Structure 1
Amino acid sequence: MIICSAQQISKMYGGHPVFEGLTFEIPHGARIGLVGRNGTGKTTLFKLLAGTDTPDSGTISMKKNAKIGYLAQIPEYPEGTLGIDVLKSAFADLVSIGEKLKELEVKMGDGQGDLDTILEEYGRCQDLFSNEGGYEMEASIAMVVNGLGIQGLLDKEFSSCSGGEQTKLSLGYILLQEPDLLLLDEPTNHLDIAAVEWLEQFLTDYSGTVMCISHDRYFLDHVINKVYDLEDGEITIYHTDYSGFVQEKEERLMIEFQAYQEQQKKIKKMKEAIKRLREWANQANPPNEGLHKRARNMERALERMEKLKRPVLDRKKMGLEFEGGDRSGKIVFSMVGASKSFDGRTLFHDAHMDLRFKDRTAIVGQNGTGKSTIVKILMGEMTADDGDVKIGSNVKMGYLSQQFVMADPEARLIDAFRDEVAVTEGEARHILARFMFYGPNVFRKVGQLSGGEKMRLRLAQLMHQDLNLLVLDEPTNHLDIDSREVLEEALEEFHGTILAVSHDRYFLNKLFQKTYWIHEGQLYFFEGPYSWAKGKIQERIPVERPVEKKKTVTKPREKEKKMATTDTIEAELEELETEIALIEGRLQTEEDLGVLQELHEKLERLEEERELKYIQLEEQLS
C-alpha cells in the first residue's frame, strides 16, 4: 500500500532550483532515511510532504484521511501552558470527551435533567472514550516522558523552557499523536544517549510510516530499512540500512563511472571516424557523396545517443588538518575526590579523572548529570566544591562548544577568523575556502551564519592555533555526515590530547579509547570505547532491585526499652538511602506501567521507613 506519491515535483528558491521533476513513492510501514548533503533540499521536501509549503510544479498525493506528523518549528502555546499540557494536547479529542464525562457525572450526582437520557449519553461517551484509547492515554504519556527523559519539564511552563527543552516536548507531542506518516527532522538533537536508544526502539516498533532526516549514523542503522538519497536534484532509492547504502552507493558510482568512461571512449572513436570519413570524402575528386552520407548518419547516431552524466566520485569536503604544536607534560589534567553541587543537588561526588598526553577520552552520561560541568572545571570557568584539581605543564587548550557564540555577531566572517589566527586577508580567504567558505561568503556577518557554518568557522580557528589539548562539547552537532567523517579523520591525526563530551555513538566508538561515565553522582572509568563501556557499566551499577528484607517496623518505644545504637541506625539509614536512590534511578528508565506502580509503592514504604529511622536517631542522640 502506498501512503504518499510524488509526481514530477519541482521547487525553486531565489531563482535557483532546489530540485526538479522528483518522482517517488512512500510505501506504508516503511522506515526511510532521507539523506543528502546540507543544502540539497531535504527539509524543503519535508515541508512539501507535510503540506506547509507547495511545489512549484508537479503533484503530491496522500492516502485518503492520512494523518501527517511534522514539527516544522516550535509551536506557540497560551501563557501558562505547562509541559504536561503540551503532551496532553496530542489527545485533544480524548481530553474533551473526558471532560464531558465529568460534566455528566456531576449532573447525575446533582439529579439534574432526565437520568435515563444522561445515562444514555454517558454510555455513548464512555464507549467512545474507551474505543479511542482514553484509558491508555496516561500510560502512553508516561512511556514517552520516561523514554525522552522529560520528567522535569512536565510542571514547567512551556514558554520558560529552553529551545532544546521545547523541542523535546514537541517531539513527545508528535510521537503521542501516532500519525500515519511521521516526518522527523534531526530527532536526536538535544537527546542524551539513553533517550536516543529509546527513540530507536520506539520507531522500530512503530506501526505507521517513518521518514527521518538525521546525521546520526548509528541511529539510521538501527531504525531505517530504506534510504532515499537526494543528490543533484534527484532521488535514488536503496533498500537497505545506512551502512548498506554507503557500500551500495560506492559500488553503483564505480559501475556508473566505468560505464561513463566506456561511453566517452565510444564517443571519441565515433567523432574520429566522422572526421576521417569527411577527410576521405573531400580528398576524392569529385568529393565522395557516399562517404559524406556515412559521416552524416554516424553524426545523427551520435546526437541521438543518450549521454551518460559523469558521476561525482569525490564531493567537495572540508580540508581539515591541525597545525603542529608543542607537546604538554605527561599529566594534562587530574581531578581527585572532586565534588560539585548546585542548589542543594549533587551532580557528582568523590570524582577522579586522569587525563594524560595523547589520550583520547570521552565523557558520557544522561543530560544534566554534570558532563559539561567537568569540562568547565577543566577550563577554569568553574571550581569544584572540594577535591584536588590540577592542570599539567605547558597545556595549550582549544575549546569547541555546541553553544559556540562569537563575541560580535556584526563582525564579518573573515575578520572573526583573523581575530583568532594571525594571517593576512589573502591567507585567511585561502584557509576559509578549505572549510567551504568561498568567494563573497567570507564577508557575511557572523550573526547570519547557521549552526553548521559557525561550527566550521570555529574548527578553522582551532586548526590554525598552537594547541596540544582539544576540549570538544558535542563537536558533531550541526555537521552533515561528510563533514563529520572529515572531522574524525583530522582528529585521528591530531598529535595532542582530546577530551570530548558527545552523544554521537559512532564518533565515540571510532576515536575514543577511554570512557568516563557519569551515573547517579558517580564517575566511572572504563579503558575502552563507548560500546564496550556500555556493556561493562551494567556490571558496575546494580540493576536488580535489592532483595527486600522483611523488617518489623516499630514505633519508638518508651525509654526503658532498649534502642538500637547510633551506629546501627546510621548503617540502616545508609542502606535505605542506597535502595531509594536505586529505585529513583529505575523510575527514570522503566517503561512498564505495572513495574512503575510497584516501584512507586515500594519507594513510599522505604521513605516512611527512612523517616522512622530519623526519628529513632534523633531520640538516640537526645
Structure 2
Amino acid sequence: MLVMKQVRFDYDRKPLFEAVSFEVATKERAVLFGLNGSGKTTLFRLVTGELKPQAGTIECHGEVGLVRQTIESEDMSLLEWVMRSDPERYALYEDVFSGDEARVMASYEQALSLDVYMLEQEATKALTRLGLDGQLDQNINDLSGGEKTRAQLSTLTMKQVDIVLLDEPTNHLDVESIDWLTKWLNRFEGTVLIISHDRQLMDDVATVILELSDGEVTRYPGNYTAYRRQKEDERLRDERAHARYVSRKTELLDMIAQYKGWHLKAKATASVRSPGAQKGAANLAVKMKVREQKLRQLEDNRPRKPKEEKAISVRFAADELEAKTWLTCEDVTFGYGKPFYEPFSFSIEKGERISIIGPNGSGKTTLLNVLIGARAPFSGVIKRHPRLKIGYFSQTLERLPETGTLLEALLAHSDIGETEARTLLAHFLFRRDEVHRPINEASMGEKCRIAFLILYFSDAHLLALDEPTNYLDVATREQIETALSVYPGGLLLITHDRYFHRLTSRTIELGETVRIRENMENDEPIDVERMVQAMDELTNHDLNFFDEVGNLLPFDETSGMNRIE
C-alpha cells in the first residue's frame, strides 16, 4: 500500500503542498486527477524519492514500478534496456555470458536459482506482447513516445512489483495497447496510482479518484463517471447551503438595522420620567444584541462558497459552404516510397464528422495530411471543393512560432487589436502578465490552448485535428469537446481520447486494409444533460475586455467587439 501523511513541499520558496494526506490500499487502482500545474507529477516524484518533502511522511510498502511520460537513456538496444530493468539478474546475465570462465563459475549457481538463463527470453516475450518485437535491436533513444511508453510497460512484467505508478501512460498509446494496459491493470493484484487525463481509462480502471486541488487531495470512491456524479451532488449541496447562509445573513442584517433604528428613536424620545419608555428602548437594544450574536454564530459556521472552476471559453465558428460534397477520394493510395494500403475511395459530405483510427505507425497522420492537401497522395485523385477552408491542428504544433510571446503569436494569426487579443487570451486562461510569456517557455498544455485559439480565427468549414488533447487537462478537454459538439462545420479527428470519438458518425480504420464504416448506433451517447450545462456556462457569462495593462474595461468602450459573442 501507499500512504502519504501531512506532506509539505515548497517550490521556489513557496508552499506547493502544506499538509497533503492520502492512502491507496492494496488492490486499489487510484487515479490522481487535477488541473495542469496542480502538482501531480511533483507528488509522484515525492513518492519515488526523487524529491524530499519539507515535512510529513511517505510510506511505500513494497517494490515500486514507475512508468514515466518520457525516458532518456544511454545508447543501448531496446532488448538490453528492458533486460536491465531487472538489475540483479542482468548483472548475473553479464557474468554467465561473459566468456570469462572465472566469472561464469562464480555466478553459475546463483544464476540458476534466479533463472537468469531465461532473462532474454522473458524480455523478448514482454516486448512482443506490446507489439515491439520488431524493434528489439533498435536504440532505445530512437523510439517514438508511444514505443517508449510500451517499453516501460514491458518492464513491469519483468519483475515482481507491489506498487505501480504511471504518469500519463496512454498519451502515446494506440487503442490496442491501451486495451492491453487496461486489462493488465485490472488483473494486477498490487497497488496502482495513475496520473491521467484519459476519461475512458479512468472509467475502465479506477476504483478511486484522488482529486488534487489547491494543494489538497480529496478522495472520491469509484471511477470517473462516479466522480462526476459526486462532484455535481457536492456542487448542488454547496450552492444550497450557501444560498441558505446568504438568505439568513441578509435577514439578520435587516433585523439588526431595523432594531437599531427603533432603539435609537426610542432612546431619543424616552423620558427619564417614563420608565416604561426606557425599558422599551432597553429591550430593543437587547434584541439587537441577540441578532448580532446570531450573526456572529452564522459567520463562524459559514459554509464554503461553491468554487468557480477556471475553464476556457471557446466557440468555434464556420463560414457557410452549401455544397453537398466537400471532398472526394478516387482510388487513392498514400505512403513513402511505396503505398501503405491498396487503393480506396470515399467522399466527405457537408458537415460530416469522421474519426481516423489505427495502431501507432499505421499512417493516420499521413492520411490526414493527404486529405487536407498538406501532402500529395501516392496515387489516385483527391478533389476538394474550391471554396473549402480547412483548419489544421497538428500534434507537433509545428505551425506555432518558435519565438515571441503568446500575445504576439495570436496577433500574428489574426487581424484583431491588442485589447481584443487580451480578452480572448483571458478566456483561454492567459491573464495579465501571462500573455507576455515567451512561447518557447510555455508548457505543452499552454501551447495547445494557443493553437486552438489560432484555430478559432480560421473560420474553417472543416477542422482537421491530430491528437489535440494530449497535453490538456480534463476540464479543458471537456470544454473543447463541448465546443466541437456544436461546431457547425465538419471534422476529421485523430485522437487517443476515446470520449472524443462520440462526436463522429463515421470512422476510417487503418489496419491490414483501409476500412470505412459507419459508427454503431449503440455507441455510448454523449451526456446531453452535462453538454447543455457546459454550453450554458459558455454562453451565459458576461464577456470582459482588458486594456494593455490588464485592467478591466467598461462594456461601452468595447461595444464594437462582437467577434466572440
Query: What TM-score do you get using the length of structure 2 for normalisation?
Result: 0.82
The 1:108–1:332 alpha-carbon spacing in structure 2 relative to 1, beyond 3 Å, is: closer
- Choose which of 303, 307, 319 in structure 1 pairs with 2:302: 307
Aligned to 2:228: 246
CA contact (8 A) 2:145 2:172 kept: no
Of the candidates 65, 70, 77, which is equivalent to residue 66 of structure 2? 70
The equivalent residue for 1:259 is: 241
Give matches, 1:419-498, under 5 Å: 419-498=412-491
Residues 281-331 of structure 1: CA deviation (Å, up to 9, x unaligned): 66456687777677657656654633221122x523211112331316322
Query: C-alpha separation between the residues in 2 aligned to 1:446 and 1:200?
Result: 36
Query: What is the one-letter code of the residue matched to 1:244?
Result: A
The 1:38–1:175 alpha-carbon spacing in structure 2 relative to 1, beyond 3 Å, is: farther
The answer to whether the Cα contact below 8 Å between 1:86 and 1:173 also exists between their aligned partners in 2 is: no
Question: Are 1:222 and 2:215 counterparts?
Answer: no
- Out of 390, 397, 405, which is 2:390 matched to? 397
Shift of 1:495: 1.9
Matched, 1:126 2:112: yes
Partner of 1:232: 214
Higher helix share: 1
Give the counterpart of 1:526 among 492, 517, 535.
Answer: 517
- Structure 1 residue 69 displacement after superposition: 2.6
Cα deviation for residue 167 of structure 1 reads 4.1
* % identity of equivalent residues: 29
> Which residue matches 2:505?
513
Q: Deviations over 1:348-370 (max 9, x none)?
A: 12122321111101111111111
**Equivalent position of 1:180 in the other structure:** 162
More off after superposition, 15-24 vs 88-97: 15-24
1:385 to 2:378 alignment: yes
Q: Distance in 2 between matches of 1:530 and 1:443?
A: 47
For the 8 Å contact 2:146–2:360, the answer to whether it is kept is: no
Q: Name 1:581's counterpart in structure 2.
A: none
SS at match of 1:349: coil
Whether the 8 Å CA contact 2:79–2:124 is kept in 1: the answer is no
5 Å matches for 1:322-341? Answer: 322-327=316-321, 329-341=323-335
Shift of 1:5: 2.2
In structure 2, the residue matched to 1:10 is 8
* Structure 1 position 88 matched with structure 2 position 83: yes
**Local SS of the residue matching 2:313:** coil
Q: Which amino acid is the alignment partner of residue 112 of structure 2?
A: Q
Q: Which amino acid aligns with 1:35?
A: F
Distance verdict in 2 for CA 1:274–1:326, change over 3 Å = closer
Residue 185 of structure 2 is aligned to residue 206 of structure 1: no
Corresponding letter in the other structure for 1:7: K
Distance 1:263 1:135, change over 3 A: farther
Aligned mate of 1:342, from 336, 344, 359: 336
Q: Can you list the C-alpha shifts for 1:173-231, whole angstroms capped at 9, x where unaligned? A: 35544432211111001111111111111111112211111111111111111111122
Gaps of 5+ in 1: 110-117, 534-622
Q: What is the rounded CA distance, in whole Å, between the counterparts of 2:77 and 2:59 in structure 1?
A: 36
Asked if the contact 2:164–2:192 (Cα under 8 Å) also holds between the matched residues in 1, the reply is yes
- The corresponding residue for 1:601 is none
Is the alpha carbon distance of 1:386 and 1:233 closer, same or farther for their aligned partners in structure 2, counting shifts above 3 Å? Answer: same
Cα separation, 1, equivalents of 2:88 and 2:353: 52
8 Å CA contact 2:469, 2:497 repeated in 1? yes
SS of the aligned residue for 1:207 comes to coil
Structure 2 match to 1:549: none
Deviations, residues 420-451 of structure 1 (Å, cap 9, x unaligned): 21111111111222212211222222212211
Q: 1:370 aligns with which of 363, 367, 370?
A: 363
**3-state SS of paired residue (2:316):** coil
Letter in 1 for 2:518: E
Evaluate the alpha carbon distance shift between residue 159 and residue 235 of structure 1 in structure 2; reply closer, same or farther with a 3 A threshold: closer
Per the TM alignment, residue 516 of structure 1 is displaced from its structure 2 partner at its CA by: 0.9
TM-score by length of 1: 0.75
Instruction: Give the Å deviation of 1:386.
Output: 1.9
Distance in 1 of aligned mates of 2:98 and 2:318: 74
Distance 1:175 1:329 in 2: 54
- Structure 2 SS opposite 1:382: coil
Q: Distance in 1 between matches of 2:47 and 2:120?
A: 31
Aligned pair count reads 511
Please state whether the residue corresponding to 1:491 is helix, strand or coil: helix
